[in-house]
Structure 1
């Protein structure tokens, strides 16, 4: 391994917000071809002590924009080890190392490293006194290659963990300018490895699907313990403020199919339905159903210029007060036919029970869901529809319930109930009983609706279903370490309960009829450390949306 160590003496000065604005104005006057974007109600960031490295000492210069934004994008505490970049390392690993480079005290670089396909300049070794607060220090060369514009400053400022003043909360420009910028900084579209090439001789269509738990407003009041990070800025939890952010996101997604969870009933009527209709969507809403009236439910929207709805059913998971499935959760099943190919896809949108220790209830709800999807699939068998199931499953990847979904079976009898979802660390409690799992239902342990008079299948302790599901966010992706696991909800805890499952339906020719093309990446557990939990001034829900792009072929 080759290592170049380049050291520069540094001098310290203070770069004030006033100086920054004055330099910005001077540059705007000197370069009229690049007009200055006016300020957007942005406050000065907290004082930043900058280390200025003179170019005459051999430095190639540091972009203040990339320095500032990179620091705020990840908000990680400085790590005091030396970065070693080995020629044999994978470029993705190099890129991960480079992300935190500006927060470290000792930086060792190569002459030229490739990170994410970009050429990286030599990295400087900066010597900082031990008594310096290096969390408030950034590095820039004098003169910088590029000054930060007011717009870029606003984007960077999104990630400061300052207390937001009430007048800033009420400002129209704060959220609308920053929500989209925050999403862009955190996430990108990632092409799936091993995608089969397009077969031009077979008609196909591409579409984007989105699943998003938008956080019911009345749920916030019942679960305020999850949002203690906003106790000093309660305005960020108000519906009017969050709805501005949700509108911006829904508009910018440009998805063809959208599945929403935790949609408050009156907000669907007053806000979501009119807004989505204005964007050209058509949709349906299902409120949770059971012994008590619930405040929220699920909604599916689709673009009628791409799909035609030819079937729709609602599924109640509530069976009876004494049944295992005794909660008010629901699902929606919609059959959409593509205008271009006449091919159909069944889209199921659901939100399973939240309770982390009731894996048996979640399994019973899934069995009811899969039985109803199986029945709908039979009803539209002439179209041989593909299946997509999306929503908030309140399970963790690679848990026992996740394995049940992607493998089609799970030995449930005698399993510890609270460990099934992967959310609880406790190792005591009741065991699952296969005989009682689907009691009071007409659904068998093979997740099919029982035909009247048909013999009951033998109970061997397994729960099964009839589909071959793949997770859009875990297909052809190696299992992540704890620090690098993707996160889709982040408040008191961080987890990944949101999923998009689909059936590839591989033909005899070895071609997947429903192909996953891209997925919208999620932040990792590591990258979220020391950032403000969700919701916050830039993220309007305690979840972030998951999205995937598919190609659907005509039957062959």
Structure 2
């Protein structure tokens, strides 16, 4: 019998018997360790690294920050009805993160993605469940506002002018707080750069009223005159709004872009500052002191920015302020000489504190959310991380309303602040030559201030361009 080659060539092969299919397993559950979160390993999927990004170990982040705890006042007269928790949080605008990649060189690329950071930021806000949330560097406001409104918050936003895309946003729980009046400051209208601030009047549970300020001060370390002018204007307008509502208390939140050992911090805590005794490039404590060799002379315009008058060398403000964190003692692992946290912000060129919650009489701080130890932050090699969504940490404080206090029995907010170098004759401030004579007479007090700054300089570090 002949062999049919055509059938052998075109006939399909007999189908193979199907192999028995193994029962699939679900991916293993996530494992939480004390030091870091280790994601489950999935054999079916490879990690797709970002194009051009350096290879990293993705099994977990070694610099996980420990959980934060509340520090409660010794005699906290807290009441759930008359207390109000306030958060201040610089969330790192997405445009800023993209425009300054050198500050986040050691941060994994996936931790810098906005969708990831946004989720972490909103989870952080939800975790601490504050009555008021003051955000800075908000450039994706609509997305954040939509989720916050679903959680029962109302909101107000003030964007920066010129070509900036970010601004300040304030959120409040509508079930507890009612907005009575709203004001804002566009500092560009006063030739004080294009930063903004919000000033709002709230009523808590239909009884207590207070003023809330939310500000993001200019970062530029060399423009201390602008920084001082922005803060001074916020304090003056907050005081005016408080008096309009019969002297109600004031809370000021925000990123003030100055360290606790700076002259601007001293201005906030002591109500005045003689600018002739300081270099405007060193007012905020953010500068690299190695680049400064001589005292910079103030021009009339710079004096006007700082004090409000071109012939007055002493900047003043009308509020007796207390810092919430400085009023409640922490431990040496995360608090500095002034009682402030050692760090609320960390990136490639800076590790230190610039975020504060200030308040006036009529309120007392019953507790604060303590910051992580400095050693734990250093292990991250910079923020954000896969657990922290910004290069700043949120600070949270709870305030309790008290009765009106006499002027002579106010809280000792500035008991440890040195004020010797600020005792000068007001009439002599209008003559620059007299200011030079006063500065020579107070050299000794300034040397004491310099030595005090040296003791805390290691705790608020401005890194050089080289590796930290």
- Cα displacement (A) at 1:261: 0.3
In structure 2, the residue matched to 1:256 is: 131
Check conservation: 1:412, 1:463, Cα contact below 8 A.
Answer: yes
* Correspondence list, 1:73-472, <5 A: 150=31, 152-153=32-33, 156-158=35-37, 166=47, 185-192=66-73, 194-195=74-75, 197=77, 205-230=82-107, 233-264=108-139, 267-269=140-142, 271-289=143-161, 292-319=162-189, 323=191, 325=192, 327-340=193-206, 342-381=207-246, 384-426=247-289, 427-428=292-293, 431=296, 433=298, 435-437=300-302, 439=304, 444=308, 460-472=312-324
Q: Whole-Å Cα distance in 2 between the matches of residues 469 and 380 of structure 1?
A: 19
- Cα displacement (A) at 1:293: 2.2
- Cα displacement (A) at 1:425: 3.9
Check conservation: 1:343, 1:553, Cα contact below 8 A.
Answer: no
Check conservation: 1:319, 1:440, Cα contact below 8 A.
Answer: no
- Cα displacement (A) at 1:318: 1.5
Distance 1:297 1:159, change over 3 A: farther
| TM-score, normalised via structure 1 length | 0.59
- Cα displacement (A) at 1:526: 3.0
- Cα displacement (A) at 1:182: 5.8
Check conservation: 2:229, 2:305, Cα contact below 8 A.
Answer: no
Q: Any idea what the Cα deviations from partners look like across 1:363-404, whole Å, max 9, x if unmatched?
A: 0111221222122123222xx210011111110013110010
Q: Whole-Å Cα distance in 1 between the matches of residues 84 and 38 of structure 2?
A: 32
Q: Whole-Å Cα distance in 1 between the matches of residues 390 and 28 of structure 2?
A: 27
Q: Whole-Å Cα distance in 1 between the matches of residues 156 and 138 of structure 2?
A: 11
In structure 1, the residue matched to 2:432 is: none
- Cα displacement (A) at 1:546: 0.4
In structure 1, the residue matched to 2:11 is: none
- What RMSD, in angstroms, separates the aligned Cα atoms of the two structures? 3.2
**SS in structure 1 at match of 2:212:** strand
Q: Whole-Å Cα distance in 1 between the matches of residues 208 and 301 of structure 2?
A: 39
| TM-score, normalised via structure 2 length | 0.69
Check conservation: 1:414, 1:432, Cα contact below 8 A.
Answer: no
Q: Which has the higher contact order (CA 8 A, sep 6+)?
A: 2
Q: Any idea what the Cα deviations from partners look like across 1:97-144, whole Å, max 9, x if unmatched?
A: xxxxxxxxxxxxxxxxxxxxxxxxxxxxxxxxxxxxxxxxxxxxxxxx
In structure 2, the residue matched to 1:488 is: 344
**SS in structure 2 at match of 1:156:** coil
- Cα displacement (A) at 1:433: 3.2
- Cα displacement (A) at 1:302: 0.6
Unaligned runs of 5+ in 2: 1-25, 40-45, 51-59, 406-468
Q: What count of residue pairs does the alignment treat as equivalent? A: 356
Distance 1:334 1:516, change over 3 A: same
Determine which of 483, 502, 527 is the counterpart of 2:359.
502
Check conservation: 2:344, 2:355, Cα contact below 8 A.
Answer: yes
Distance 1:306 1:168, change over 3 A: farther
In structure 2, the residue matched to 1:526 is: 375
Q: Any idea what the Cα deviations from partners look like across 1:82-108, whole Å, max 9, x if unmatched?
A: xxxxxxxxxxxxxxxxxxxxxxxxxxx
Q: Whole-Å Cα distance in 1 between the matches of residues 321 and 28 of structure 2?
A: 49
In structure 1, the residue matched to 2:402 is: 553
- Cα displacement (A) at 1:531: 2.6
Q: Whole-Å Cα distance in 2 between the matches of residues 485 and 548 of structure 1?
A: 13
Q: Whole-Å Cα distance in 2 between the matches of residues 461 and 221 of structure 1?
A: 39
Determine which of 468, 473, 482 is the counterpart of 2:325.
473
**SS in structure 1 at match of 2:326:** coil
Larger radius of gyration: 2
Q: Whole-Å Cα distance in 1 between the matches of residues 100 and 345 of structure 2?
A: 15
